[in-house]
């Protein structure tokens, strides 16, 4: 909310978000709800369903853990907001750069692709037990060091 108010931006939404409109506006954010049976063109332009389906078709699974589905959506939103859109409000700045000041850096954010099998470091002691475990790469974290999120194949949780 602070980012929207600081930059004087409005939130556009469908009727299904009308129940939170008053709460959002009380925080000083402009919240524009479209009429019933209308769609917000700016939102429709960025449909996530097709983008998430394009990820799902290349995964080697017949069934998807719920956390993986959530992370497919987060991944698409992360990358969608990382580059300027040709019909966007700025030719050079991405939505992420406009809202947070963060820009994508190849050497930090593009180290590993979504769905890549990796070995991640586990807490350990001086014993001979394994110090790594299998995981699936999800997306870059938002830190300056260039960390990534992973889905543990042992626990099914994001780390």
Q: Partners of 151 in the beta sheet?
A: 136, 158
Does residue 80 surpass a pLDDT of 90? no
Report the pLDDT averaged over residues 36-53.
72
Residue pLDDT, tens place only, 87-141: 778 889 998 888 888 888 888 888 899 999 999 887 767 777 777 889 999 999 8
Mean pLDDT of all residues in 73-99: 86
- Contact (CB, 8 A) for 139 and 114: yes
Q: What is the residue-averaged pLDDT of the chain?
A: 83
pLDDT of 6 over the 70 cut: yes
Mean pLDDT of 137-152: 87
Q: Could you tell me how far CA 131 lies from the centroid of its own chain? A: 29
d(CA 63, CA 55): 13
In 3D space, the residue among 73, 149, 158, 155 whose CA is nearest the CA of residue 112 turns out to be 149
Q: How confident is the model at residue 61 (pLDDT cuts 50, 70, 90)?
A: confident
4-20 in b/e burial notation, b at 16+ Cβ within 10 A?
Answer: beeeeeebebeeeeeee
pTM: 0.71
At 53 the pLDDT is: 86
């Amino acid at each position: 909310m602070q980012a929207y108010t600081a930059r004087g931006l409005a939130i556009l939404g469908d009727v299904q978000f009308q129940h939170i409109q008053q709460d959002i506006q009380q925080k000083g954010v402009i919240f524009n709800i479209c009429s019933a049976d209308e769609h917000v063109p700016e939102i429709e332009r960025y449909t996530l369903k097709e983008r998430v389906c394009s990820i799902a078709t290349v995964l080697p699974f017949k069934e998807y853990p719920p956390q993986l589905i959530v992370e497919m959506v987060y991944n698409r939103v992360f990358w969608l907001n990382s580059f300027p859109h040709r019909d966007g409000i700025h030719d050079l700045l991405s939505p992420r750069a406009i809202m947070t000041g963060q820009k994508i850096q190849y050497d930090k954010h593009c180290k590993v692709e979504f769905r890549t099998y990796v070995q991640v470091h586990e807490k350990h002691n001086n014993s001979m037990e394994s110090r790594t475990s299998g995981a699936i790469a999800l997306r870059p974290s938002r830190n300056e060091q260039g960390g990534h999120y992973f889905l543990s194949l042992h626990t099914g949780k994001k780390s």
